Amino acid sequence: MSITQQQLLRILPNAGTKAGVFVSALNVAMQRYQIVGAKRTAAFIAQVGHESGQLRYAKELWGPTPAQAKYEGRSDLGNTVHGDGFKYRGRGLIQVTGRANYAECGEALGLDLIKQPELLELPQHAAMSAAWFWATRGLNTLADASEFNKITRRINGGLNGLEDRLQIWARAREVLCQPSA
């Protein structure tokens, strides 16, 4: 199942022209990582939609907020060099964060994200990194079981933005789960 630009805009109405920029990249990434079928696609697009501000941001907006300031020196993220917190802030459509995650994602995608973390801001890599993250965290299985809150926790570490995620998920299911006419 491929998603169309029109479907993407119905699910993520604030995406505007970004829907056209990302639709092909999302379809390629979802196919590669077996995010196929209405249930998986709806859950994936809902999470990506929230994490990226409806495809408007492939790089975390930086304050730094108190939470972002805590990225610095976090060994669980692999941020061991001064400046890693900012350099390896969230990027991609699911906001890959931290030196260790950039290294793991880069290895999987064949990119040197340690030297060029900004590559995750490009549509094809932003989408592919999100699909890679999804697949490596076992989120297809959770999507198949409609375990949306568990998906949110694996992506976010908690339930931040849950109401927005649920609203997008409801639109995605409405758009993608309709029988074909």
DSSP state of 178: S
Percent of the chain with pLDDT over 90: 96
148 closest CA partner among 130, 178, 172, 131? 172
Question: The CATH number of 5-57+123-176 is which of 1.10.530.10, 1.10.150.130, 3.40.50.1100, 3.40.50.300?
Answer: 1.10.530.10
pTM for the whole structure:
0.95
Domain ranges of the chain: 5-57+123-176, 66-120
**Which amino acid would we find at residue 41?**
T
Residue 158 CB neighbours (<10 A): 9
In tens, the pLDDT along 91-142 reads 999 999 999 999 999 999 999 999 999 999 999 999 999 999 999 999 999 9
Asked if the domains 5-57+123-176 and 66-120 are classified in one and the same CATH topology, the answer is: no
Q: DSSP string of 129-145?
A: HHHHHHHHTTHHHHHHT
In tens, the pLDDT along 23-37 reads 999 999 999 999 999
CA dist 9 and 29 (Å) reads 18
In tens, the pLDDT along 7-16 reads 999 999 999 9
**Helix-strand-coil split of the chain, %, nearest 5:** 60, 0, 40
Architecture of domain 66-120: 2-Layer Sandwich (3.30)
Helical packing angle, 162-176 and 38-51, nearest 10°: 140
* Alpha-carbon separation of residue 75 from 78, 82, 100, 101, 149 (angstroms): 5, 12, 9, 11, 26
CA dist 13 and 179 (Å) reads 22
For the cut 90, the answer to whether the pLDDT of residue 55 exceeds it is: yes
Q: Between vectors from CA 29 to CA 54 and to CA 11, what angle results, nearest 5°? A: 30
Q: What is the pLDDT of residue 119?
A: 98
Query: Residue 181: which pLDDT band, with cuts at 50, 70 and 90?
Result: very low
CA dist 142 and 151 (Å) reads 7
Quote the tokens at residue 131. 């699909």
Query: Cα-flanking dihedrals φ and ψ of residue 28, to 5°?
Result: -65, -45
In tens, the pLDDT along 72-84 reads 999 999 999 999 9
The CA R_g of the chain, rounded to the nearest whole Å, is 16
